[in-house]
Amino acid sequence: MKNRVVVGLSGGVDSAVAALLIKRQGYDVIGVFMNNWEETDENGSCTAVDDWADVRDVCNRLDIPYYSVNFSKEYMENVFELFLREYRAGRTPNPDVLCNREIKFKAFLDLAKELEADHMATGHFVRTDSAGHLLRGADPLKDQSYFLYMVHDTQLRQAIFPVGGMTKKEVRAIAAENGLSVSAKKDSTGICFIGERKFKQFLQTYLPAQPGDMVTPEGMRVGRHDGLMYYTLGQRRGLGIGGCGDGRSWFVVGKDLGQNRLIVAQGEDHPLLYTSEAVCTDVTWVAEALPEGVPVRCTCKYRYRQPDQEVEALLNGDRLILRAAVPQRAVTPGQSAVLYRGETCLGGGIVAETR
C-alpha cells in the first residue's frame, strides 16, 4: 500500500503545487481545506467560500479526494483569544505564529493521524533535514521559517514541505504548466481573519477604545490618541499631531499603560526608538535548547522581513535575553524574536520588554 499524505490546501498556488508534487512522488494523497474563521468581512463576503471553490477545482484536476474541516472553535480559543488579550495589554502579537503551532501542526496533524496518514504536507516555504531541524526556504523572499519557530522537531519529522526548495516563480510555472486554476492567484497578505477591513475598524469590533493623551517623554501633552491598542512602536502615520515641535515627524516611542498615555517623540532616529537588549518569554525551541547561562552568538529576526541581526543570546531559566551587536529600531513587545544559526532556525520567544 502506498504511503498516505494529507495535504493542507488553502486555495492558493503554493499548497496546490505541494499536492501536485506529492502525488507525482507516488503517495496516496488526500486534500484538506481548513476553515478557521467563519465571519464575513464588511461587504458580507467570506474569502473562505472562494478559497474552498479553488480547492475543489485543484483536487478535481489532480484527481484526489478532498474534505473541508472546521477548526474555527480551536482557532477562536487558542489563537484569536490570545490575540485580543495581547492587544488589551498594549502589545502587538503575531497570530500567524500561533496558528501554525495550534492549528496547522496540532489540530491538522491530529486529523492526519485520524485519517491514518503517514505524513502531512503544506505549501510553506521551508525545508527540513532528516533530524527534523527547521531550515530556511530556498527562496529568501518567501522563506517562512520565522512563522514556524514554535513547531517542534517531533512534529516537523511528520511533515513534508514540497515547495520549500523552490522559488515562487518556479511554483507558479509548475502550476501553469499543469493547468491549475490558481497559477496566477494573488498571494494572501495580512492577518487572515481581518480580510478587507481596516485593522483599526476590525479591532474596534472586539475591544472597547479608551482614548487618552499623547505626551512627549518629558510629559508635555501634544495630542490625543484613540486607544493604545491601535498604535505600535515606531509608528509615524496617523498620529495627527500638528503645530507642535520643530517640524520633524513624530513617532510612537512608548506606551504608559498605567496612565493610558501614548509617548511620542520627534525624529526617526530618536534614542527611545532603539534598544540593545530584549527580554523574551514563552521561549520555544525547534530541537535542542540553548545551554542555560552560556552566551551564544547567533542571528535574530525581530520582524519577518528584517535581515538577520547579530545577537548574543543568553537563556536564563524561562527567559531569553538577546543583546544586539547593533542597536535595534522599534523592537516591539508581543512580537516574535526568532534565532538562526546559518540556515537552521533554532527557536525563539515573544518579546516581553526592551532595555
Residue numbers annotated as active site: 99, 192
Alpha-carbon distance 123 to 268, whole Å?
38
Q: And the C-alpha cell for 95?
A: 497570530
H or E stretch at 310: strand 309-316
CA dihedral 82, 85, 91, 97 (to 10 degrees): 10
Identify which of 296, 313, 301 has the alpha carbon closest to the alpha carbon of residue 345: 301
CA dihedral 315, 321, 326, 330 (to 10 degrees): 140
Alpha-carbon distance 69 to 53, whole Å?
14
Non-local (6+) Cβ contacts of 295 within 8 A are 312, 313, 314
